[in-house]
Amino acid sequence: MGADERQALDEKAREVAAALGPGWTVEGDVWDRWRTIRDALSPERALILGVIYGGDRLEIGARRPAGMNGWSSQEHPWPKITVAAGRLAAAIAREIARRVLPAYDAALAEALRVRAAGDARDARADAVLRIMREAMGDEREPEREPERGARREWSVHGPGSLWGRVRTYGDDIGLELEHVPVEMAAKMLRLLVAKADGEVE
């Protein structure tokens, strides 16, 4: 895009933002053919407006919230429309209000719900991670990338030839042990049976 084209896009974005109503502003971060229009009253709510190659049409779509660029929902897809670049900003704003914002708000609400659930899940997994580290008596980092689905993984070594691996899986762990001494195995089994029967230590 040349300087005149970029200036025209900047002006159109500002006009559309003003036509959308109070709170809508054009952000300072600019891409060559795209501008972000954000609702300052609800900062997660943002649109992108850009020039399609050829210059005679504009594309308006969703600016996805942080951390959700790769997320999509079949039930609530991110909306996208095109309009003639020569249309008045007020007419474009009406098209956005009618064809974009209802679907966008539904997709945004679902994306934020999914992100919050993921954040809570990660927090629980981090708590499990801390418990496992305390149990092992050190702060060592995981040894290698865990298998798919696991967040962290360590090897553990005990008396004799005992060997094992600990993996964290969100709210719980996976524990694999080999060559466990008989007395230790008996204690572990008694504990497991007691827990299964609801006995309290």
User: Is the model more confident about 181 or about 107?
Assistant: 107
Residue 129 falls within a domain, yes or no? no
Domain containing residue 181: 141-201
Are the beta carbons of 110 and 73 closer than 8 angstroms?
yes
Same domain flag for 58 and 23: yes
Bridge-partner residues for 49, per DSSP? Answer: 35, 60
Query: pLDDT, tens digit, for every residue of 172-190?
Result: 788 888 888 888 889 888 8
Residue at a domain's end among 117, 152, 167: 117
Residue 93 falls within a domain, yes or no? yes
Predicted confidence band at 30 (pLDDT cuts at 50, 70, 90)? Answer: low
Same domain flag for 183 and 93: no
Same domain flag for 107 and 184: no
Per the structure, the count of domains in the chain is 2
Structure tokens at 171: 């709210």
Residue 78 falls within a domain, yes or no? yes
Same domain flag for 110 and 153: no
The whole-angstrom separation of Cα 138 and Cα 198 is 31
The whole-angstrom separation of Cα 157 and Cα 137 is 13
Query: pLDDT, tens digit, for every residue of 146-158?
Result: 555 556 777 887 7
Over the chain, what is the mean pLDDT?
Answer: 85
Same domain flag for 105 and 168: no
Q: Is 105 helix (H, G, I), strand (E, B) or coil?
A: helix
Same domain flag for 10 and 63: yes
Structure tokens at 149: 């689905």
Residues 6+ apart with CB under 8 A from 45: 38, 39, 104, 105, 108
Give pLDDT, residue 139: 61
CB atoms within 10 A of CB 64: 19
Give pLDDT, residue 81: 97
Residue 131 falls within a domain, yes or no? no
**Residue 178 one-letter amino acid:** E
